[in-house]
Amino acid sequence: MIRKLLLGVVVLIIAVLAFATRQPDTFSVERRLVMNAPPERIFSQINDFHAWESWSPWAKLDPAMTATYSGAAQGLGAVYEWSGNSDVGSGRMAIKSATPPSEVVIALDFMTPIESHNVTTFMITPVASGTEVLWTMKGDAGYMTKLMTMFTSMDKMVGPDFTRGLEQLKAVVERP
């Protein structure tokens, strides 16, 4: 009886591991929010990593997190590196392109807890009711990501952080 149970568990584990290889090779997460602020004000908050501490959804998760800035002060070539607890991990962001006041593209590299290399884009678009900010992250889904997405999606893991970050950005840029 125990042998059959163990065999069943082994077969189930093998099936999950094999099925993970059939998950999509890429992922995409996006959130958007309309803000009552001019595009230039929003762009300046996103284009300058020094400003992120006031609105980033991860900035307050680890008060002991270390951050370093290098490269350009802002815009193309600006670099932000961090290392913190398991909530924030460690990684690096570098602005790859900045088109005032409508777009910022960032290379986002996580080193821990799981190494990944993604592209994050902020699109800032005037709309009738204010300015819409679209925050997207796209990347390749390596085997570990595919295995994780067997149980939850990248959208469910990262999407709420994007929503919180956009809400915090909105609070900052709408201040008088």
pLDDT, position 132: 98
DSSP state letter for 53: G
pLDDT, position 80: 98
pLDDT, position 129: 94
pLDDT, position 167: 98
Give the C-alpha distances (Å, rounded to integers) separating 62 from 44, 88, 109, 128, 164.
25, 7, 19, 38, 16
pLDDT, position 61: 86
Phi, psi dihedrals of residue 74, rounded to the nearest 5°: -160, 165
The pair of structure tokens assigned to 91 is: 């990684």
pLDDT, position 100: 98
Q: Kindly report the CA angle at 120 between 119 and 125, in degrees rounded to 5?
A: 135
The pair of structure tokens assigned to 102 is: 């409508």
Segment holding 94, helix H or strand E: strand 90-99
Q: What is the pLDDT along the chain (176 residues), one digit of tens a residue?
A: 888 888 888 888 887 778 778 888 889 999 999 999 999 999 999 999 999 999 999 888 888 999 999 999 999 999 999 999 988 999 999 999 999 999 999 999 999 988 899 999 999 999 999 999 999 999 998 888 877 877 888 899 899 999 999 999 999 999 98
Contact 84, 65 (CB under 8 A): yes
- Cα–Cα distance measured from residue 176 to residue 174, given in angstroms and rounded to the nearest whole number: 6
Residue with tokens 């059939």: 22
Which amino acid type is present at position 49? F
